[in-house]
Each structure stands twice: as structure tokens, then as C-alpha cells.
Structure 1
Amino acid sequence: MRVLSCIVGQHNLWLVLLAAVVCVAGSWVALRLLLRATDRHGVQRSGWLFLAAVAAGSSVWCTHFIAMLAYDATAPVTFEPILTMQSLLIAIAGMGAGFWLALYNRLPPEIGGAIAGLSVAAMHYTGMAAYHVDGVIAWNMNYVVASVVLSVVIISAAVGATIRGTSRNSLLIGLGAFVGGIVSLHFTGMTAVSVTPFVTGAPIADATVFATMAVAVAGVALMVVGTGVASHLIDSEVTHENIAALRHLAMTDSLTDLPNRTGFNEYLHFELQRAEQGGRSLALIGIDLDKFKEINDLRGHEAGDEALKTIGRRLLNLSRGGEFVARIGGDEFAALKRFRNDDDLREFIQRLEEALFKPLTIEDLEITCGASLGIAIYPQDGRDAERLIGNADLAMYRAKADLTRTVCYYEPQMDEKSRERRGLAMDLRSAIEHKELELKYQVQKSVESGEVRGYEVLLRWKHPERGYIPPSEFIPIAEESGSILAIGEWVMREAAREALAWPLPHKIAVNVSPVQLMHVDLARSIHEILLETGLPPRRLEIEITESTIIADKVRSLDALRRIRALGVTVAIDDFGTGYSSLDTLRSFPFDKIKLDSSFMKEIETSQQARAIIRAVLALGKSLDIKVLAEGVETGMQLEILRSEGCHEVQGFLLGAPETFVADVVAVEERRIA
């Protein structure tokens, strides 16, 4: 009651209200700055602690000073300037020390809060020492002790609640306690004072002057508070901009400026939730560029990057509301489309195709990249992101494998096909052990004399349940699974062993997979097989396609030179179907060119096909490389090749692949007889 009586009866309530405004505003800013310091380290933390200490100390001091001016001492009053300034410095320094200790990890924050509370008490009583009244001042020590205890306990709790708080209300609780600690200290401390004025005849201080001073001090306090607010807002804006920039970097592909895989996954989850709530359909389109590798191989990676940038710009520009396109890695893109009917989706797919199939101009090269698109639709093709992405990939791979389609929708049968491929891949791993692989040999003959020049080794797989599986089906699976390495080595070793049993030392031609050339020391492996079997190197010929070389030209050509140094001949297979045939021939001295069988199908009716064959034969003659034509099935084809000067031929007209070595031996014995 004495405290309340002191406030009501001995203070100017308007100035008390002004002091309260300064106290609340300053404390709010100070605690917000303190919280900002908790998120920083090093020099930045020190800077925010300094701002928090200045805001807190100056606000507390100004609150105290205004409340002192509001006190009616009924006697002449003066202020001692040095002690008054010291009280301000005590408040700022004490708050700085307390806040620093509160953020020191090895101590509980309440200890720092207690130091801040002590500094408030020290500031108050230093200020009271600077308060000179013409009269006798008496102190009630019980109230003095109570004021100090209240300040230390309440402000300690306020700082602890602010720093430890995890909820949104923590700051409000801390603010209320902080203001309560300051107010309880001041007015309890003022209650401890009683003044008996001297009768000196000196005039009592003008209340108007004190009010003016109080307003001026409040203005300065609010300017300090405003400075803290401005610093906080500027930092918040910069932090927001930095976070936005970092988020953009994390979610965006730096090359195309499209969203990356992370951004795509986040948006996909958002769209799936929205589609589930709204009952709408959502299409996920997987996109894989078809001829991007050709651009890299022909013009280098810079040209490839430029192509990706161009395609990225096109895809970015075509997107409308409810549409989203991202680059998820390499030459793969993905798109999302919210749609109400099939016409909306078809129109979007059409725009995608126009952007992807529009010719690209890279330096002096104009190329149509093209793409394969696989589409999965929510909810019928999957209700979660993982399922939807997997089904879109299955559809995309089907489109890539089908030369007649560029767009493929997911169908349930694709899962069965995928499972079937995985099952075949597992069976292939044990095919050698279970003796399911067989070798066949197709004869290669001279066009002029009809004499046997050698045999191409062909691999067949007799599955225990499905019977014979075409090489076009199981060879890609073997390459994808890595089984081709063991299978390729077995083919070469088995063919070399069987060839030694032939009555005549004909050459065997063995196809080499790109995987073998890229992942093993092929020259060393061949050398070991030749030493193990005893087959002379001149009886072995390696057949390799242009695409195998182009995959890694430097490494491929190095491996081929080492193989040729063993005495093994090297033939380029499927010649004429690639896109850099002349450059390939210039880069490596092949021993033989195998003309692709596709030319034989048109040789009898197409002048263009005959002209191409004639050009290849002339090229082989000028480079002193023999040319072998594959796929010869009619006598007219053979006659045309003879008239054009072809060296060797291979095909069903000359002999189908023989199943067993015994068949080959029998053919040889009949020929000798």
C-alpha cells in the first residue's frame, strides 16, 4: 500500500505513463535484439549484444530519469551531472555483461539475467545519489533490500524465459517480467525514500520544466529504441533476402535456371496434396533427350551446355498456370500438369514436343535433339510421389525403345515387363554356370573365290523355361546388369578353345561390348585368353561398333591399339549407321570394315543404296581396308557386290549360323573332300 500510495500520491501520473511507454518499448526492442544475438556467432553476436545492451541500458535509465522527474519532492531539486552520466554507463555496461553471460553456453541464462538485474539496481541508486534535494532524506532499508531482490529475481527470470523459450509467447512472458522487474525496483526504491524539506525560501522546481525535460529524455530514448528497431528490420530484410537467395540456389538448376530435382520433388509433393484435396488429376511427364550425347561427342561439352540452356529457356517460356517443368539431371527433364480433361493434357504435351523437337543451332551445326516422353497420371497410375515417378520412368523407357513413338503413357503391363527384365538379369548371372549359353558360327567368304575367310562367333542363350531368347533382348540386359563382362570373357575363351579343334586355321571374329571396352583391361584379358588356350593371335578378330568408340574415344582407341599390338585384327562393325564414320576411320587403322546389313535390303532396288555401298568400297580401297558386307541373302545381292568389288560377304545365302562345333568341322571336312 505504501508503494501504491507513493505512485499515486507523490508522482505526476502523466510522466509515469510516459516512463512506462519508454520502458515497454525499450525492453521489447532490447529483448528482440538479444534473441537476434542468440542466432549469431563471433563478431556478429558481439555487435547484436552491443545494440541490445545500449537499447536496454538507455531505456532503463530513461525510464528511471523520467520517473524521477515525475516524483514530487516538495523541495528544491538539482541533479549532479557526473553521477547522472555514471548511472547511464552503469546501466549499459551492466546490461552488456549480463546479456553476454546469459548467452555463455556453460552457464544458465538466469545468471546473466541476475547480473542485468543488479546493474538496474546499481543504476537506480547511483541516480538517486545524483538527486539533490534541499531537505533531510531518510531511507527505509527494508524497502531498499526488497527493491534490489525484486530487480535481480524478476529480471533474471525474464532473461531466462526469453532465451530458453520455444513458443511464440516466450518473448511476451520475458517482456512482461523484464518490465515488471524495472518498475518494481524503481517504485519500491522510491517508497524507501522520505524527504523533509528545509525552509530556505528557495523556489521549488517548476513542474513544467521537469515535464519538458521528461519529454526530451523520452524523445532521446525513443530515438535509441528506433535505431535498434531499424537495425533489426534491416538485418531481417537482409536475412530474408539471403535465405531466399540460398533457397533459389538449392532449388534451381544453375545451367538452365529451371527448378532442379530438389525443387521438383518439393513441388510434386505439394501438388499431390492439392490434387488429393481438390479431387483433380495430375500428370507427371518424364523427359529424356534423344540425341544430346551426339552434340557432346561432336562439339564438346560447351556445345552440350548451350543446347541444354536453349531447351531450358523453351520449356520455361511455355509453362502456364498449373504447369511446372524442371531439369532433374543430365539430359533428363520432368514436367507436371494439373488438368481437368484429356484435351488439356494433350495440348500441353503438344507444346512440349514442339519445344523439344524444334531444331537447335549450335555454332554451325543445326540438329534436332528430340526426346522421349513418359506419362503417369495421378491417381490411377500412383497416389504417391515415388510410385508416380517410377511409372513415368517406365513409360519413358518404353517410348525410348519404340522407334515409332515419342510419347508413351504408363500401362500396368510395363511393371510386368520391368519385373521380367529383372528376372532375366538374375538368370543371366548363373547362365554360364548352368551351361545355358551356346556359341554359333556364321561363315565369312571371299566374294571372288568363295573361299572361307573365317567365322563370326554368335552367342545364343537357351533359357531353361523360356527356351531360346534373342540376343537383341538379353544382350542389353547383360550390359545394364554388368553380366556382360563375365559372359564376354567366356565367349572369347570358349570360341578360342573350340577353334583349335577345326581342321583348318580359320579366323574367328568375336563381338566386343562397349561395357567390356570401358570397364576392363580388354587387351590384357585377350592376351591371357590367347596364352591359356594357345590360339594364335592372327586367328582372332575383334569386332567393335562405332558407338563403342565414340562413348570414350581416347580410351577406346588406346585399348584398340594395344589389342592390335598383340597381333589381333580389329574390324569396325555396323559401318554406315553411325554419324562419324569418316572421323572414326581417320582416327584408327582398322583391318576390316563390316558394312551394315541394312544396306543389303535395298541394294537390288535403290540406286542410293548402291551408291553408298560403292562409296564405302572406294573408301576402303583408298585406305587399304577390306570391306565385308553383312546380311547377304540372295544371289542378286551377291552378284552386285561382286561387280562393285566387295572383298568378303556374310549372310544366310552363304550359310546359317551353325549350332555346334561338330557341324563346322563336318562342313570343313566336306569342303576338303
Structure 2
Amino acid sequence: MNTKLKAMVVDDHPIHQTIIKQYLANKGVNATTFGNVTEALRSLQGNTYNIIFCDLQMPGKDGIDMMLLLNKHGYSGSVVFVSAMDDTIISSLTCMCRPFTFNVIGKLAKPYFEDDIDKLIACVCDKHQSKASFQKQIEVDEREFLVALAEGRVKNYYQPIVDTKSGVLVGYEALARWMHPIYGLLLPYVFLPIVEKCGLSPELFDTVFSNAIQDIKLHGIKHSISLNVAQDNLEDALFSDRFLARCSENNIDPKTFTIEITERESYSSNVNLYKNLLKLRLNGVSVSIDDFGTGSSSLEKLSQLPFNELKIDRSFIQGITTEQKDKNIVRSICGLAKSLNISIVAEGVEDEETFSLLEEYGINLAQGYFIDKPMPLEAITVLNKEKKYV
């Protein structure tokens, strides 16, 4: 284990402190223990902790108060909840902490098992080493991104989507990547704020769509391709007409494409939105609702818009092996989708155990790092010839 890691243990029970501290010492982790939140927070001044193990039930300030105060102090490491409380409480607290400055990486149930601590520390080691390997601050501006769009430096990476029963490749999701001359490959979290600020959603979609057309024509991508579309684009009265015209001009069947609308975006009834989605569906384009379950208007969208696919958000999929609440939510979503004759895609499938459960839930398709990461076209060409998926 990485001896550079430092841990904080916050628990009002001395025996529990001692047990966790000893387990951590066995992994080469230097741990400091505290009996209450006030002492623990005081220690944050001038000290850096990679991971904090925090009991939830303590007299005075409890674990919930600790989370709020950690966020207020800007703590940027990892947190583990230590508790025997009901899973619904752990799940709700995890949701509360999602926008905070730190990462909740798991829970440690009482009684403790060394293997559980081992897995948590391994996770922190991976994050710690990854962070240490790239410390350069990324500073980009609107002008740089506009130039990148104009010069063709925004490229498509493709993430495979497979059939859960056979493991056969059925399609890809096209994802934008910025090839920066200084920073190298930049992911969307870097440039999407620029896109939103400057209203560049139409330009970004046009770039990704154009890249996909060229890749189909010149490099022989034969499977379906999913394209992410902002709702602002779909409120453009001519969106579907232009989309279908470009397919016709390039002799590409519109059925090749799936349009994905992010469910997190706000929803408003709009005639152009209906018109565009209906025209696309009438011409064979699939329409998918992405990140399903994370927005406030999920059922309204399903009832009013012509979706024929939904993608269950990774936050639910990644919990089906351990969290009963997530299991029940996924079963409910799958039952709803089946009753509406809608195809289901599981996002964020990261291990074999999760993938093996998908067919049991009636999930047709899957994508995630267990299957493969997003990759450039060159890798796609090789994999089409050599690789078998799951």
C-alpha cells in the first residue's frame, strides 16, 4: 500500500477508533483518531488527509454536521461513512454530499472487516496516484475553443454499446474530445461550460455529427451511433430537416443514428421540440432519454415525447450489486420501460458482477468501462477486426 496516504478517523468510541487505526496501519496508512467533530476539524488546519472515516452517530455534532463542515472548509479528499444505519439513510446522505468538495467513496458497516477497509484504501490509492501523475492546471478560454472547432481539433471518441445477452457490439456513443496543443486530450467537463456560456451547442453538435458522417463514409463504421443533443438545439424549427437532409446528401440511412436528450436538463413544452423529435422518429431515427432518473420530469417526458429508448443513469446501475434501494429503483424503471415497449440501456457498467445482473433486470443494452472506454477511430478499426466483447 501507499505509505504516503494519511487518514483521519472520527468516532466517539475509543475501541472503534483503535480497530480502524490498526487495520489502516496494516495497510501502511498513517491514521490519526479523534473522538468528536470539533477536534477533527481543528486538525484540518495545517494537515492534509487523503481519507476520512467518520462515524455518523456521535453526541453533539454528528456525522451529518461533519459533512457540512468539511464542505465549508473545502476538504477535497475522500470520505467513508462508518455506520450500521439503514441503507436509506446512507443513500440520502451520499446524495446530499454529491455537490460537495470531497468524494464519498463508500461506507464501512459495523462490525468492521479488514477486507472492506482494504478495498476502500485501494480506491484512494488509485485516486491519489492519478492526481499526482497530472498536476498541470488547465486554463482555456472561449476564443481557443472557437478556434478548435473551426480547425477541426474537436474529434469524436466512440464508446461501445453491447447486447447484454450475447455481448455482441450493437453501436457506439459519439463523445466529443478536444485535442489541445498544450494540454493534450481534454474531456467535456473542461469545455462544456464554454459551450453553455457562449451558446455553442449547435456548433458542437454539428461538429460531432459531421465527424460521425465522415467516419461512417471514409472508415466504414457500420454500427449505430448515438449523438447527444441539447434541448436548445431541438427547439430550432429546422433541426430535423437539416439532420435528415445531411443523411440524404451523404447516402446514410437515418436509422443509423440515435438522438440522446439529457434528462437532467429542464423540460418545457415547445412545438419545435415535438416537431423535430416526431420527424426524426418517422424517418427511423431512435430517440433516447439519457441519464434517466436524475431529473424532475422523467415521467412527464416519457408520456409526452416519442422516446423509444431510455438510458438508466450510472448512479443507479453502480448500486445494483450492493444497494437494495438502487436495485428496487432499477427494477421499477425496467418494468415501466417494458410496459411502454422502450429499449433500456445501462450506463456506467464498470465490473463483471454488475454486467452479469443486467439480463436479470431485463436490460437490453449496456455501456461502460467494463465493456470499453471511449476510444479514437483508429482503435475502433482495430477492435472491429480483433476484439470480442464480454
Q: Report the TM-score range of the alignment, normalised by the length of the smaller protein.
A: 0.5 to 0.7
Give the letter aligned to residue 147 of structure 2: S
Match of 1:458 in 2: 175
Structure 2 Cα separation of the partners of residues 611 and 512 of structure 1: 30
Which of the numbers 374, 385, 388 marks the counterpart of 1:669? 385
Match of 2:202 in 1: 485
Give the letter aligned to residue 540 of structure 1: F
Secondary structure of the residue aligned to 1:454 is: strand
For the Cα contact (< 8 Å) 1:632–1:650, is it kept in 2?
A: yes
Quote the offset at 1:600 in angstroms.
Answer: 2.3
Match of 2:99 in 1: 403
Residue 472 (1) aligns with residue 168 (2): no
Percent identity between matched residues is: 30
Give the letter aligned to residue 404 of structure 1: F
Per-residue displacement from partner, 1:634-672 (whole Å, max 9, x unpaired)?
11101121222211100011111111x232122112259
Structure 1 segments, 4+ long, off by >6 Å, are none
Structure 2 Cα separation of the partners of residues 559 and 504 of structure 1: 26
Match of 2:354 in 1: 637
Structure 1 Cα separation of the partners of residues 220 and 176 of structure 2: 22
Match of 1:622 in 2: 339
Higher relative contact order, chain-length normalized (CA < 8 Å, sep 6+): 2
Quote the offset at 1:615 in angstroms.
Answer: 0.7
Which of the numbers 256, 260, 264 marks the counterpart of 1:539? 256
Structure 2 Cα separation of the partners of residues 549 and 529 of structure 1: 28
Match of 1:336 in 2: none
Residue 564 (1) aligns with residue 260 (2): no
Query: CA distance change for structure 1 residues 623 and 549 in 2, over 3 Å: closer, same or farther?
Result: farther
Secondary structure of the residue aligned to 2:150 is: coil
Q: Give structure 2 stretches of 5+ with no counterpart.
A: 1-97, 102-137
Per-residue displacement from partner, 1:149-196 (whole Å, max 9, x unpaired)?
xxxxxxxxxxxxxxxxxxxxxxxxxxxxxxxxxxxxxxxxxxxxxxxx
Structure 2 Cα separation of the partners of residues 521 and 438 of structure 1: 25
Match of 1:48 in 2: none
Which of the numbers 359, 372, 376 marks the counterpart of 1:655? 372
Structure 2 Cα separation of the partners of residues 576 and 609 of structure 1: 11
Per-residue displacement from partner, 1:82-101 (whole Å, max 9, x unpaired)?
xxxxxxxxxxxxxxxxxxxx
Superposed, 1:293-304 pairs within 5 Å as none
Which structure has greater helix proportion?
1
Quote the offset at 1:616 in angstroms.
Answer: 0.8
Structure 2 Cα separation of the partners of residues 511 and 581 of structure 1: 17
Query: CA distance change for structure 1 residues 484 and 583 in 2, over 3 Å: closer, same or farther?
Result: closer
Structure 1 Cα separation of the partners of residues 358 and 385 of structure 2: 28
Give the letter aligned to residue 667 of structure 1: L
Match of 1:436 in 2: 153
Per-residue displacement from partner, 1:413-470 (whole Å, max 9, x unpaired)?
xxxxxxx98x521111111232321111000001001111100001101222333332
Per-residue displacement from partner, 1:541-589 (whole Å, max 9, x unpaired)?
1111234471444432222112222221111101010112111111123
Structure with higher Rg: it is 1
Match of 1:596 in 2: 313
Q: Give structure 1 stretches of 5+ with no counterpart.
A: 1-401, 406-419
Structure 2 Cα separation of the partners of residues 442 and 601 of structure 1: 18
Per-residue displacement from partner, 1:386-426 (whole Å, max 9, x unpaired)?
xxxxxxxxxxxxxxxx9338xxxxxxxxxxxxxx98x5211
For the Cα contact (< 8 Å) 1:497–1:533, is it kept in 2?
A: no
Query: CA distance change for structure 1 residues 488 and 623 in 2, over 3 Å: closer, same or farther?
Result: same
Give the letter aligned to residue 643 of structure 1: E
Match of 2:48 in 1: none
Secondary structure of the residue aligned to 1:550 is: coil
Which structure has greater strand proportion?
2
Quote the offset at 1:510 in angstroms.
Answer: 0.5
Match of 1:516 in 2: 233
Structure 1 Cα separation of the partners of residues 185 and 387 of structure 2: 30
